[in-house]
Amino acid sequence: MTSPTTPSMRVAIVNDLAVACEALRRVVASDPSLSVAWIARDGAEAIERAARDRPDVVLMDLIMPRVDGVEATRGIMRASPCPILVVTATVTGNAGLVYEALGAGALDAVNTPTIGAGGSVAGGAELLRRIHLVARMSAARAWPTTAGSTTAATNAPMTVPTTAVMSAARLSVTASTPNATATSAVPLIVAIGASTGGPRAVADLLRSLPKDLRAAYLVVQHVSVEFVEGYAQWLAAETGRKVVLARAGGVPREGEVLVAGEDRHLALTRAGLLEYRDEPRDHVHRPAVDELFTSLVAYPRAGVAVLLTGMGRDGADGMLALRRAGWHTIAQDEASSVVWGMPGAAHRAGAAVETLAIGAIGEAIVRAARRAGAGTS
């Protein structure tokens, strides 16, 4: 039980079905730390209500009249950004829309609870677990307090945070200059990290790249582990590429997109083998972009690292170390990011060689790959 002085988490419900709204209301009311902020019957109303009264969490349905859940998520993230949890009749049945909503800025997805014959609510415990999980994720990522303030100014001073300096110092022991004979035997790596809004950004980026570019792709996307296999399948369908989950002991191959697929940190060893690591256990994200990027410092061929839209600063320290190790590093710019947290942190730390709109990153990767001797075949 929460104490009387503890403020409750205000939860907004967006659903056009009265029975679904009632099920969600009962679940929220069953937790003393939660309260219902407001209920909207479609996406257009949700955007308007969020602008007037921003809640702590939004429970967003997907299929609704006027404005669906994907567009409502996009609208709220643009005007009144706040944590959004997709709540739909069937996550697996609506997988395509789920990943579109995640690409628009939603943080997670769960099936809608149902009211049984006796009035009991099935699925309520899982919904409560996801609400609190989203709340913890949000607390770690620092949401903007006003519309349009998802970033710091683009002309902010290029200072290096203390954590980045410490990280780079720790990694300098393992960093090495790429060996000309070794690089010819290993593929060029394009490493991509993303979080909030990332599914759509990653798909758009991969689709913009020529399929005969002689590079292997490693992707860390912050998404619940139970969704990652479906995410890989969705990404393959969106891009027309071979997208598979990274397996421990495997090796990156040219043209293949490998997605981190476990609740552990994906890394690439100096020998070019994929592995999953438990440490650091206290990292906010598992897998973490920073852990992939830092592991690549010792890789015998400098490649390209890209940090896309997302809250927080995961990936910024690792990207700084990669830039110092000779990699070409690219951060997504503020205007094209759903949230300019991670790429913004990299930009301000001086970790990014280039800060570009999502539509320009593909061409920059191709140019960097050609300079590294890995153009199109």
Condensed to tens digits (0 to 9), the pLDDT of residues 262-312 reads 999 999 999 999 999 999 988 888 999 999 999 999 999 999 999 999 988
Torsion of CA 53, 59, 61, 64, to 10 degrees: -20
Q: Which of 204, 222, 295, 337 is catalytic?
A: 222
Which pLDDT belongs to residue 112?
Answer: 96
Q: Which of 314, 317, 328, 347 is catalytic?
A: 314
Which pLDDT belongs to residue 133?
Answer: 85
Percent of the chain with pLDDT over 90: 76
Torsion of CA 173, 316, 345, 82, to 10 degrees: -150
Which pLDDT belongs to residue 257?
Answer: 98
Which pLDDT belongs to residue 116?
Answer: 86
Which pLDDT belongs to residue 1?
Answer: 44
Residue 173, pLDDT > 80, answer no
pLDDT tier for residue 135 given thresholds of 50, 70 and 90: confident
Mean pLDDT along residues 195-210: 96
* Residue of 92, 78, 69 whose CA lies nearest to 12: 69
Which pLDDT belongs to residue 184?
Answer: 53
222 is catalytic: yes
Mean pLDDT along residues 162-180: 36
314 is catalytic: yes
Which pLDDT belongs to residue 143?
Answer: 57
Residue 316, pLDDT > 80, answer yes
Which whole-number Å values give the CA distances from 1 to 4, 124, 252, in the listed order? Answer: 9, 18, 49
Torsion of CA 111, 245, 291, 330, to 10 degrees: -100
Which pLDDT belongs to residue 141?
Answer: 53
Q: Which of 195, 295, 336, 337 is catalytic?
A: 195
Which pLDDT belongs to residue 166?
Answer: 33
Which pLDDT belongs to residue 285?
Answer: 87
Residue 174, pLDDT > 70, answer no
Which pLDDT belongs to residue 226?
Answer: 84
Residue 159, pLDDT > 90, answer no
Mind listing the domains of the chain with CATH numbers?
A: 9-141 (3.40.50.2300), 162-371 (3.40.50.180)
Which pLDDT belongs to residue 179?
Answer: 40
